[in-house]
Structure 1
Amino acid sequence: MEQPPKKNKSDSPDEQKQKPPYGGYGISWFYLMLFGFLILFSILSNPTSSTKEISWSVLEDSLLAERAIEKIVVINKEIAEIYIKKDHLKDAKNGEGTERLFSTVQGPQYRMNIGSVETFENKLYRAQQDFPQGEKISVAYESRTSWTSILSWLLPFAIIILFWMFLLRRMGRGSTGGNPLFNFGKSTAQLTEKGTKSSVTFEDVAGLKEAKTEVMEVVDFLKNPETYTKLGAKIPKGVMLVGPPGTGKTLMAKAVAGEAQVPFFSMSGSEFVEMFVGVGASRVRDLFKRAKEKSPSIIFIDEIDAVGRSRGKINAFQANDERESTLNQLLTELDGFGPNTGVIVLAATNRPDVLDKALLRPGRFDRHIYLELPTKEERTEIFKVHLRPLKLSKKINVGLLAKLSPGFSGADIANICNEAALIAARKKKEVVELEDFMEARDRVIGGLERKSKIISPKEKEIVAYHEAGHAVVSWYLKHVDSLVKVSIIPRGKSLGSAWYLPEERQIVTKSQFLDQLCASLGGRAAEEIIFNEASSGALDDLEKVTKQAYTMVAYYGLDEEIGPISFYDSTGQNERMLGKPYSENMAQLIDKEVQNLVTMAYERTKKLLIQHKDELQKLAKLLLKKEVVEKEDLEEVLGKRGVEVLEGSTEKIG
């Protein structure tokens, strides 16, 4: 006889998913069914559920007068159950007797609240004075405990218990098996098992060559540790990915998860912090415990600044800070007394200045990988990655798209490619063309065009001269970025815009700063020259100019009066100070120098516009006529600029 094959102890993941966890929904449904059965049983088995309730007058005038009562049973000195004689049951007025569902005893036909026992007995005695001795009604007294009375005080407790079972189940839903009551301290990290191939690989991480090399070396540490340890080297314990938003930190971690071929635990820093005291530290311990059990493995903590903020005076007034205890536990696990072999921690943040110094020291996060905004060549590679799924026109030049997007991050480029595809689909095109990318770029930078916005002719004229002022000043100043388009069509929150193609430079000189100040003040200066008064339309320009002037004076040391002194704080500690890091006299001097700097730039701008007033008026009239002036039109009005500029734009002023 062939025996059935025995099941393996380690079931497949699909079989494990089908098994309900301990204390799962099967047991809960059993409790609910039992509770409902008890309620139904109490209702159906209660003899008084279908008994008619009467008053004393009905009892005396009808039932006693007809000698129809067989007996009366007083229950708990409160309710009298009245049983009718069998020969009177057939009377239509009395009806048939009721029977209990789970009992063969015939139930009472009537019931009545008696008030007090003595009053009921006196009334019954007086009503039976004329009855013969043998026909007097017998009265019995019973004490009963019904299911209804029991459930009346059990029901609140049952509801509370069911509520807590539901609450604890919700808390333990993300935990790994076991009783949910004890799982809220467990780690909620998502595990990518060894051998699982991710949809994101290093081929999808365009650019970032140096950072990718560093991260790939970390993966090689785990795959071939003997290559490094045979020379006495120690495997790094932590790698911190630092960079502006959208530069590919999380994407890099996803690629590591797909390429590492080792268990990969990923979670966000905010998942450690809960309302319960000690839960964050418990989750850190559980995370590293799981990682050590599956070593060699990788832990990835995204947005680690949510839990790794610096411990300082800001927390001194709090008796027990949950975030600080979680950070202490994380520091202990990274480089504590106990061994931590075979586990590498990857972390990502765009706020390295707020992180605790103990977290960043060698021995915890040994390597800091800085991801910067991509260069032109790197943007070309990123465009190629995001253009793969699109149906493109043959005229698309990837190099041109990269030139027209300086300062863009990988996320910005992905957004432009998606917007271009949406715009082409909206126009019912078969392929995505270059003009769709240009429109998508303008949409991402400046916002949606609002051609339907109603502007009075006077306001439109002011906007035209304002934007023409920006254009004329920037055209004749040597160090201002190349101007490629001017528009007076409302877009986003702005009523008009001048579009520039910024140069990719790593440092900015003082003369470049001064020319940029003049270009930003060109709109307000043009309004004052033409209309003899300024408007509120230059608010954005003035804000930008003021911040830039303070940066030149207080940070870069470009002011001759104050000298080469910088009050810039790269550590971020001055943000917690109530005062400024300099004296009151220095503050007054900085304010004075900033005012002189902006005033000097404004006077220089006005002189330049007065000198080219004819070009300013021509360009403003052309803007009122066409609303959008491209590079060719600018050259017809203003003449050739010293350096040939490429058609396109990525930044606006105005």
Structure 2
Amino acid sequence: MAKDNNPNSNKFKVSPWLVYASILLIFLFISYITGGSSFQEPAQMKSSDFNSFLEKGQIEKVIIRNKKVAEIYLSKAALQNKANKKVAKDVFDQPNKGPHYTFIIGDVGNFEKKLDVAKTEKKITDYDFQESSNWGDLFIQLLPIIIIVGVWIFIMRRMSGGGGGGGQIFNIGKSKAKLFDEKTDIKTSFKDVAGLEGAKEEIQEIVEFLKNPEKYTNLGGKIPKGALLVGPPGTGKTLLAKAVAGEAQVPFFSLSGSDFVEMFVGVGASRVRDLFKQAKEKSPAIIFIDEIDAVGRARGKNNMSGGNDERENTLNQLLTEMDGFGTNSNVIVLAATNRADVLDKALMRAGRFDRQIFVDLPDIRERAEIFQVHLAPLKKVEGLDLDFLAKQTPGFSGADIANVCNEAALIAARNNKTAVDKQDFLDAVDRIIGGLEKKNKIITPEEKKAIAIHEAGHATVSWMLEHAAPLIKVTIVPRGQSLGAAWYLPEERQIVRTDQMLDEMCATMGGRAAEKVTFDRISTGALSDLEKVTRQARAMITIYGLNDKIGNVTYYDSSGQSEYSFSKPYSEETAKVIDTEISMLIESQYERAIKILEDNKDKLNQLADILIEKEVIFKDDLETIFGKRTFDANLEEVVS
């Protein structure tokens, strides 16, 4: 069971109803011990009325307090008299125990003689002199005020954030950073982070400095004040920060960039000040800001809605705290983002974020290491090939691989298996990429034939082209939003050449070309293919400069600021040329695909018939029909 890292989780939480009940019980207790005198003041009595009560024998006893005030307790018979109805009951409609009346006496000696005579004549049971301090009466009088003040303090503390819920009004300028205890809260270390060797090596220097600063300072070196982790989503930026927290053995403050954002003006800057104040008090310390682009966007660039002053104030305060007058070098800031292009230049300069650590998608070797980590808790078959799994997941991030392993375990459990095997992982990859199978989807035979021809067209064209991605399998089982799919294993290239992109575009257009060659009519089934091909063609012409007509020009803005501009970076005439070139490029590959399919029409139909019969075909089936690819001689077999 995961340990609760919330330091307030074990604190006793007081219910407001418990407070209200306690106040009521206090009042009732005071009423009981004082006979209700705190709630009902005795009625004032004249001296003549006292003499009348005394003569009639209606007084049970008299208590003279401090030789000044006489407290009169009536007998039971007197309390039944209608004249005394007002003093017979207390505020809770219970019998009033007294005193029922009071009056200020004059000469104490004469009053005592009068009581002696009445006691001798048995008109009064007893009388007594009592000395009492005024402090008790004063306390009883002030008790309601004390209770009201106590309740007010309790409510204010609840509103200041101690009680959770909606009460944060007095704590709104405080930092929301969570402080992790390096000894108990964080168990992640660099051993738990697979791959990312370069990133780990760079960030480990920061950890080494915190552990052994003299090693660096003796040579006159200074530790970087900040390190920015940049990379696509799911590549392990936050996991790397957790490993730093576990390895550094120093206080670690963690929060998200959105934690600075609030509807009230000035709150973000206040939270930044409070965060760095806490970190400096516990220095050396590490602050980790996840998704820093929430507050670190470039200032004054949003022309559509004007600059967000509150966000910019927060960023200005962050810049000042990281490298301004009086900054403390013992506080190191780590941050993570996948939008480094939109960050402010002042935030990225040396002295604030001295290092940018790029956390890229894992290569085939790193994917095998990541699989090894995520497969550890699974019950898997013996001899599971990690290299095979790594080859089947090109372009997958660490989070994607974790999802593959989890899906494979769920699929194996669904099939009542005792261990997760190779096929479960293949099914999991298909599930994640293509979506859930929909075998019960109603498809007419005519539609099934069209889908089979379409997918067979992809397979045929890609088989005949040298630079197209190697085919793994083809299916016409509906999955997700698609009615069929061809699965490829793309080569992991660092650079892509023109002929490689053209071959990929031609293979993508093979589905629609097959419909044209076979039926002499086309359908709407090629929407995703057209979208992909159009995106590739536009990138070739406007981004990579791979078009002779446009030339070696790119309209790509790596800073990300072009999204705020109303105008295009090229003229209307250039836009027409770009549109024309995109259309010509796509149509030329479409015609090329038609030519390939017309030359292999018999094999296309043969492949489609097998596909209709089996619904899923693999690389071996294509080799049976087309023979081995000559330019595939050195390609490793990836499907057994």
3-state SS, counterpart of residue 298 of structure 1: strand
Quick check: 421-430 or 639-648, which moved more? 639-648
**Match of 1:25, as an amino acid?**
V
SS in 2 for 1:314: coil
- Label 1:381 to 1:103 Cα distance change in 2 as closer, same or farther (>3 A): closer
Give the Cα separation in 2 of the matches to 1:527 and 1:180. Answer: 64
Distance 1:172 1:309, change over 3 A: farther
Report the residue type matching 1:277 in the other structure: V
Match of 2:208 among 212, 216, 220: 220
Per-residue deviation, 1:184: 1.9
CA displacement, residues 127-182 of structure 1 (integer Å, 9 cap, x when unaligned): xxxxxxxxxxxxxxxxxxxxxxxxxxxxxx99x9899759725587499xxx9654
Which residue pairs with 1:101 in the alignment? 92
8 Å CA contact retained: 1:396, 1:434 = yes
**Partner Cα separation in structure 1 for residue 185 and residue 162 of structure 2:** 30
Instruction: Report the equivalent of 2:159.
Output: 168
User: Contact 2:161–2:170 (CA<8 Å) still a contact in 1?
Assistant: no
Aligned partners of 1:171 and 1:183 also within 8 Å: no
* 1:364 aligned residue: 352
| Cross-structure match for 2:542 | 554
Q: Say whether residues 1:483 and 2:474 are aligned partners.
A: no
Q: Which amino acid aligns with 1:534?
A: I
Counterparts in 2 of 1:28 and 1:210: CA distance versus 1, 3 Å: same
Matches of 2:308 and 2:158, distance apart in 1? 25
**Within 5 A, what are the aligned runs for 1:72-471?**
101=92, 165=156, 168-170=159-161, 173=164, 182-196=170-184, 198-314=186-302, 321-471=309-459
- AA in 1 matched with 2:310: E
Aligned equivalents of 2:562 and 2:154: distance in 1?
48
Matched, 1:25 2:10: no
Q: Is the 8 A contact 1:470 1:523 kept in 2?
A: yes
Conserved? CA contact 1:631–1:647, under 8 Å: no
Cα offset, 1:30, TM superposition: 3.5
What SS does structure 1 have at the residue aligned with 2:296? coil
Who is 1:6 aligned against?
A: none
**Cα separation, 1, equivalents of 2:248 and 2:154:** 44
CA deviation after TM superposition for structure 1 residue 34, in Å: 3.0
Other-structure match for 2:626: 638
Residue 529 of structure 2: aligned partner? 541
Name the CA distance, whole Å, in 2 between partners of 1:208 and 1:15. 32
Structure 1 match to 2:577? 589
Indicate conservation of the 8 Å contact 1:292/1:341, yes or no. Answer: no
- Give per-residue Cα distances to partners, 1:563-585, cap 9 Å, x unaligned: 11111110011111011111111
Distance 1:581 1:515 in 2: 29
Shift of 1:528: 1.2
Q: Which residue of 2 aligns with 1:627?
A: 615
Quote the RMSD (CA, aligned, Å).
3.3
**Pair 578,648 (structure 1): closer, same or farther in 2 beyond 3 Å:** farther
* In 2, Cα distance between equivalents of 1:280 and 1:335: 18
Preserved CA contact (<8 Å) 2:455 2:484: yes
CA contact (8 A) 1:171 1:184 kept: no
1:250-290 CA-partner distances (Å, limit 9, x unpaired)? 00001111111111111111111112211111111111111
Letter in 1 for 2:253: F
How far did 1:310 drift?
Answer: 1.2
In structure 2, what residue type is equivalent to 1:501? L
Deviation at 1:638, TM superposition (A): 1.7
Partner of 1:610: 598
Residues 348-403 of structure 1: per-residue CA shift (max 9 Å, x gap)? 00111111111111110000000111111111111111111112211311111111
Equivalent-residue separation in structure 1 for 2:26 and 2:185 (angstroms): 51
How far 1:196 sits from its partner (Å)?
3.5
Query: Matched residues in 2 for 1:239 and 1:15: separation?
Result: 28
Report the secondary structure of 1:25's partner residue: coil
Displacement after TM superposition at 1:321 (Å):
2.4
- CA contact under 8 A between 2:513 and 2:593: conserved in structure 1? yes
> Taking structure 1 as reference, are residues 616 and 163 closer, same or farther at Cα in structure 2, changes over 3 Å only?
farther
Give per-residue Cα distances to partners, 1:446-472, cap 9 Å, x unaligned.
111111111111111110000011000
1:356–1:454 CA distance, 2 compared to 1 (3 A): same
The residue matched to 2:228 in structure 1 has which SS? strand
After superposition, residues 47-66 of structure 1 pair within 5 angstroms as: none
Question: For the residues of structure 1 that align with 2:327 and 2:531, how far apart are their CA atoms?
Answer: 54
CA shift digits 1:70-99 (9 cap, x unpaired): xxxxxxxxxxxxxxxx899xxxxxxxx988
Match of 2:567 in 1: 579
Amino acid at match of 1:375: D
Indicate conservation of the 8 Å contact 1:301/1:347, yes or no.
yes
1:7-43 residue CA offsets vs partner (Å, 9 max, x unmatched): xxxxxx99998776xxx8388843564379889999x
The 1:105–1:208 alpha-carbon spacing in structure 2 relative to 1, beyond 3 Å, is closer
Measure the CA separation in 1 of the matches of 2:89 and 2:188: 74
Which amino acid in 2 is paired with 1:30? Answer: V
CA distance in 1, matches of 2:430, 2:9: 49
Instruction: Find 1:501's aligned residue among 459, 482, 489.
Output: 489
Note if 1:34 corresponds to 2:13.
Answer: no
Report the Cα offset of residue 199 of structure 1: 2.4
Mapped to 1, the partners of 2:484 and 2:636 lie a distance apart of 22
Distance, in Å, in 2 between the alignment partners of 1:289 and 1:430 is 54
CA contact (8 A) 2:300 2:306 kept: no
How many Å apart are 1:103 and its aligned residue?
A: 6.6
The Cα of 1:198 is off from its aligned counterpart by: 2.2
Q: Output the amino acid matched with 2:420.
A: V
Identity of aligned residues (%): 58
Which runs of 5 or more residues in structure 1 are unaligned? 1-12, 46-85, 89-96, 107-156, 650-654
The change in CA–CA distance for 1:449 and 1:14 in structure 2 (over 3 A counts) is closer
Listed as ranges, the matches of 1:1-20 within 5 Å are none
Distance 1:474 1:163, change over 3 A: farther
Distance 1:568 1:585, change over 3 A: same
1:430–1:104 distance in 2 versus 1, CA, 3 Å: closer
CA distance 1:185–1:535, change in 2 (3 Å): same
Task: Output the amino acid matched with 1:184.
Answer: I
Q: 1:321 & 1:517 partners in 2: Cα distance?
A: 46
**Matched AA of 2:586:** V
**C-alpha distance 193-614 of structure 1, shift in aligned 2 (>3 A):** same
AA paired with 1:420? Answer: A
Answer whether contact 1:272 1:280 (CA < 8 A) is retained. yes
Query: Which position in structure 2 is the counterpart of 1:92?
Result: none
Gaps of 5+ in 2: 37-79, 83-87, 98-147
What secondary structure is seen at the aligned counterpart in 2 of 1:307? helix
CA gap of 1:102–1:472, structure 2 versus 1, over 3 A, is same
Distance 1:556 1:596 in 2: 17
Mark the CA change 1:640 to 1:311 in structure 2 (over 3 Å): closer, same or farther.
same
